[in-house]
Structure 1
Amino acid sequence: MSKDVKQKSLTAPDLRAKRVARTEAQLIEAASMLFCDQGYVATTLAQIAERAGVAARTVYVRFGTKAALFRRVIDQALVGDAEPVDVAHRPRIQDAMTAATLAERIEALADVSVGIAERAAPLFEVAAQSEGLEPELAEAAQAGRHSTTQLCRSFWDQAAADGHLAEGLNPEHLTVVTDVLLCADTIVHIRRTHGWSAALHRSLIVDTLTALTRRRA
């Protein structure tokens, strides 16, 4: 086998993988825009393919169903990129678990929440509208709620283990309050009802958690 042929055989899988990743990125971007502009029901896979500049069959090959594609759009919006690393293992959430002071940890946790709100809030509104229509999306939404609850529980359990909670503070109670502040349902509610920006939501998180954990004389 010649060197050129050998080199080609070694690089072909990498080139295919790059093409697949590029196509999926185009589809996810197109889907995100259309879902936000038109809603879940009105958006079709054919429209997404056309917006992405690919054949309609490509959408089915890559994602199978509209619900599966929408879940992928949400998942990517949550973390901000296509890397296979979930929110719980991102650097800023690690700061929330390990920073030297509770104040720094609360700030980091709020940064994570505001980042998610800035990227995904419009999609959360679409998800809220479509959850009752697609069992797959309802299941995914509920799994997301459980993940948020678990993240909040881990945050306060770690804070307690590291000696950051004043005597008498209940990590379970703090978990519930934090869960309410951070969850997707709250993001949708404060956007719809109060018209708040992600930055205002961040202030609410920091101010509330700081007040609840302030050491009393």
Structure 2
Amino acid sequence: MTTPVKGLRAAKVAETQERILDAARTLFVRDGYHATALTAVADRARVGHRTVYVRFGTKAALLRSVVDVAVGGDAEQRTVGEREWFQAALTEPALVDRVEVLVGGIADLMERAGDLFEVVLQAQASEPELAEAFQAGRADTRELLRRFVRTARADGLLAEVADPVWQEETVALACQAETYLLLRRTTGWGSGDYRGWLRRTLTEVLAPA
């Protein structure tokens, strides 16, 4: 088989997968996890029912894939910690710039994935796989944000505080998905409001040196 033929086949596979993920996202957000059937996803994506089962196996696995794409912003297999925006948040020369980059990255992520996080919260009581994945996401987020604070401290950008662990945990909590969802439910804030709150919160917690 020639390379061009292989390339066309790979492109077709990728295009089919994108259609399935787009269809699944729409139905999960619109109808909720339990009301969304894999057959309905296949019909909306205009693929055979078997195609969805072969590619993803279960509805929980499909939702995890949809969430992964939303969190990353693309289908690349890179963690948040490996993304350029997070690396910039660790290396900008001034604290104000690090906070700005971090706020932008977190807020963009929540805009893309917030509705899907709500779906996961609905589903996790009956889907241990999703509950485990969401808990792993919480732990990863906590560690990334603690790393952000520790790096800024090591680079001499933070004033000394009596309780640095409190500082790390407060920043991590502010950036968790469930904090975003709670604010959205209770305040009715839009994207700009959330960005402003997160920027102010992080700036006040991270007293500059």
Q: TM-score, normalised by structure 2?
A: 0.95
Structure-1 residue corresponding to 2:111: 118
> Which amino acid in structure 1 is aligned with residue 22 of structure 2?
E
Q: Are the equivalent residues in 2 in contact too, given 1:78–1:120 (CA < 8 A)?
A: yes
Per-residue Cα deviation, 1:125-166 (whole angstroms, up to 9, x for no partner): 111111111000000100100110011011011111111111
Query: Following TM superposition, by how much is the alpha carbon of 1:210 offset from its aligned partner in structure 2, in angstroms?
Result: 1.2
* Structure 1 range deviating more: 206-215 or 26-35: 206-215
Measured after TM superposition, the shift of residue 215 of structure 1 is 4.6
Offset of residue 169 of structure 1:
5.5
Structure 2 match to 1:99: 92
Displacement of 1:199 in angstroms is 2.0
Amino acid in the other structure paired with 1:166: A
- 1:207 matched to 2:200? The reply is yes
One-letter amino acid of the structure 1 residue matched with residue 121 of structure 2: A
Q: Which residue type is aligned with residue 102 of structure 2?
A: L
Match of 1:85 among 75, 78, 81: 78
Look up the SS of the partner of 1:152 in the other structure: helix
Residue aligning to 2:139: 146
Equivalent residue letter for 2:42: A
Give the match's secondary structure for 2:2: helix
Q: Matches of 1:198 and 1:146 in 2, distance apart?
A: 24
Aligned residue in 2 for 1:58: 51
Give the equivalent residue in structure 1 for 2:23. 30
Partner of 1:132: 125
Tell whether 2:159 aligns with 1:166: yes
Structure 2 SS opposite 1:167: coil
Structure 1 vs Structure 2 CA RMSD: 1.4
SS at match of 1:58: helix
Q: Distance in 1 between matches of 2:77 and 2:205?
A: 35
Deviates further, 115-124 or 31-40: 115-124
Query: Which residue does the alignment assign to 2:32?
Result: 39
Contact 1:160 1:171 in 2 (8 A): no
- One-letter code aligned to 1:209: L
Q: Return the index of the structure with the highest Cα Rg.
A: 1
CA contact (8 A) 2:138 2:176 kept: yes
Contact 1:153 1:171 in 2 (8 A): no
Q: Deviations over 1:44-77 (max 9, x none)?
A: 0000000000000000111111000000000100
- Tell me the SS of whatever aligns to 1:119: helix
Using the size of structure 1 for normalisation, the TM-score is 0.92
Distance 1:63 1:174 in 2: 40
CA contact (8 A) 2:95 2:208 kept: no
Inter-partner Cα distance in structure 2 for 1:112 and 1:178 = 14
| Counterpart amino acid of residue 177 in structure 1 | T
Residues 88, 101 of structure 2: 8 Å contact kept: yes
Would you say how many aligned residue pairs link Structure 1 and Structure 2?
A: 209
